[in-house]
Amino acid sequence: MRLFLAMLSHETNTFSNVPTDRAQFEARDLRYGGEIVETYRGTGTCLGGMIAAAERLGAALVPSVAAAASPAGRVTRDIYEHVKQRMLAELSAAGRVDGVLLDLHGAMVPEGVDDGEGDVIAAVRKVVGPSVPIAVTLDFHGNLGRDMVSQADLLHGYKTYPHVDMAERGREAAERVADVASGAIHPTVAFRQPRLLPPIASQRTAEGPMRRIYDLADEMEKDPKVVSVSIFAGFPYADIPDAGLGVYVATDDDQALAERLAGRLARVAWEHRHEFVHSAPGVKDAVARALAAEGRPIVLADMADNTGGGAAGDGTEILRELVRVGVRSAVVACLWDAAAVQRCTQAGIGARITLPVGGKVDDRHGAPLEVTGTVRTLSDGRFVHRGPMMTGLPGRLGPTAVLDVDDIKVILISHRWQTLDPEMIRFVGIDPLMEKILVVKSTIHYRAAFEPIAREIIEVDAPGLSSSNLARFDFRRIRRPIFPLDPDTAYEPE
Ligand SMILES: [Zn+2]
């Protein structure tokens, strides 16, 4: 059996003014051919799971292209077309394949295209024709669209947030695509898009409404007629008509069952809609609470400045308050400011400098903050994920500096990367267990690796492009009415 393999992954925050161009992909991942298998084999990623399953099934992989960039603004046309055309050309040249495995996101918005994944899958379908099965892994934050559903045989959305089941979903996609290719199953699928736009802060799957919906989905999956169920919590910061929660059910040759289960899940999600409304204390209140808390480390989650949700990653409001109050034994992980890293590098380790940090990308993450500090360490920004997410995958933060501002250690990075792993603090020589306060720029993902070490977690409502307060965004193109933006939205029965 021969399986074609490709990845194109981006979560697009259409409110961001940082274009996702070729350089952003090169900073994260842009690789071709056999190198993909070498890099991803054994990692906690979808590709890692697909590779493991293919090897176990004795299937030959035809790896084409793997492209990913940190979430930011729209994917520029040239890099999008480059990756897509290369994938299509190699698929055409590959000869007979028995199945196609695509690792996509679900919330990618290229310039001029609302539904990037639907566009990619439709183009792949055109090359392989109707009889070659296509299975796609999608992020939990995918905004499900009609083309994705109709052009792929199977979609496999992550079932966890933090996303700790990526490898499992990759394995599942590879095994099921082989089942379809061999004629063992005949997928019939249904989807629903209730008028729900949950902020990401209330989407965690350990508890709350998503847990309850997934408990029901898990029950449904016990039926041997059910191939898979995916509940996409959606990505509200992509201002497109499909943004929001999506339900997808695949059954084995039973369309009526798929429709019935999808309708029931959409209804249950709707019934829990009020639990998706999220609030957190403001910056001053949160910092005061952290200082009053017992033990260490206390994590302050800077939820709205999460680069993993397309925020700038250079927000200054929590740092400003730490400096104002004179906090000691604190870490800010991590602040995206390549210019500040350069200043630190020029000054050298041990130098004392005054410079503005952060607040440079736009006016939605606080103003630049002038600080005086000592350059504590400099590094090339290379580390390896050790937490439950992306385990074993190398990370690259680019040139990295630690600026010590009266015992507030600010980790300055050159490549945007969400702080989801304490390794991003350890690798610059700081022991996170010894610090009183860890400011972590992440909405939910940090929980997988920081919850086990944090004495307490305090969520903070600071400004930023991944804020849970959706009323702060000037939406133009999402469906209206939609809950919670329009509290009186009525349910549309199927
Ligand atoms: Zn996600």
The DSSP-derived string for 69-88 is: --SBSPBPHHHHHHHHHHHH
Q: Please give the distance, rounded to the nearest whole angstrom, from the Cα atom of residue 234 to the centre of ligand 1.
A: 9
Q: Please give the distance, rounded to the nearest whole angstrom, from the Cα atom of residue 140 to the centre of ligand 1.
A: 5
Q: Please give the distance, rounded to the nearest whole angstrom, from the Cα atom of residue 378 to the centre of ligand 1.
A: 30
Supply the pLDDT for residue 408. Answer: 98
Supply the pLDDT for residue 60. Answer: 98
The SS3 of residue 354 is strand
Angle in degrees, CA 303, 434, 369, rounded to 5:
45
pLDDT in tens, 68-107: 999 999 999 999 999 999 999 999 999 999 999 999 999 9
Q: Please give the distance, rounded to the nearest whole angstrom, from the Cα atom of residue 139 to the centre of ligand 1.
A: 5
- In angstroms, the CA 66 to CA 71 distance is 16
pLDDT in tens, 157-188: 999 999 999 999 999 999 999 999 999 999 99
Mean of pLDDT values over 248-269: 98
- In angstroms, the CA 368 to CA 336 distance is 12
Q: Please give the distance, rounded to the nearest whole angstrom, from the Cα atom of residue 167 to the centre of ligand 1.
A: 14
391 alpha-carbon distance from chain centroid? 15
Answer whether 0.75 is exceeded by the pTM: yes
361 and 18 Cβ atoms separated by less than 8 Å: yes
Q: Please give the distance, rounded to the nearest whole angstrom, from the Cα atom of residue 33 to the centre of ligand 1.
A: 26
Helix/strand/coil (H/E/C) assignment for every residue in 462-483:
CCCCCCCCHHHCCCCCCCCCCE
Max Cα separation, the chain? 69
- In the block, which residue shows the tokens 């792949």? 124
Q: Is the dihedral of CA 124, 104, 143, 222 positive or negative?
A: positive
Q: Please give the distance, rounded to the nearest whole angstrom, from the Cα atom of residue 403 to the centre of ligand 1.
A: 30
pLDDT in tens, 382-411: 999 999 999 999 999 999 999 999 999 999
First to last CA, the chain: 40
Angle in degrees, CA 203, 204, 207, rounded to 5:
115
Token representation of residue 181 = 């290719």
Q: What is the mean pLDDT of the chain?
A: 97
With cut-offs at 50, 70 and 90, classify the pLDDT of residue 494.
low
2 and 96 Cβ atoms separated by less than 8 Å: yes
With cut-offs at 50, 70 and 90, classify the pLDDT of residue 492.
confident
Q: Please give the distance, rounded to the nearest whole angstrom, from the Cα atom of residue 290 to the centre of ligand 1.
A: 28
The H-assigned helical ranges of 58-140 are 77-93, 116-128
- In the block, which residue shows the tokens 């630690």? 402
Q: Please give the distance, rounded to the nearest whole angstrom, from the Cα atom of residue 11 to the centre of ligand 1.
A: 8
Q: Is the dihedral of CA 197, 202, 208, 212 positive or negative?
A: positive
Count Cα atoms within 13 angstroms, Cβ side, for 454.
22
Mean of pLDDT values over 48-74: 98
- In angstroms, the CA 131 to CA 96 distance is 12
Mean of pLDDT values over 464-468: 96
Token representation of residue 215 = 């408990």
Mean of pLDDT values over 237-258: 98
Residue 111 phi, psi (nearest 5): -55, 125
Work out the percent of the chain whose per-residue pLDDT is above 90. Answer: 99
Q: Please give the distance, rounded to the nearest whole angstrom, from the Cα atom of residue 141 to the centre of ligand 1.
A: 5
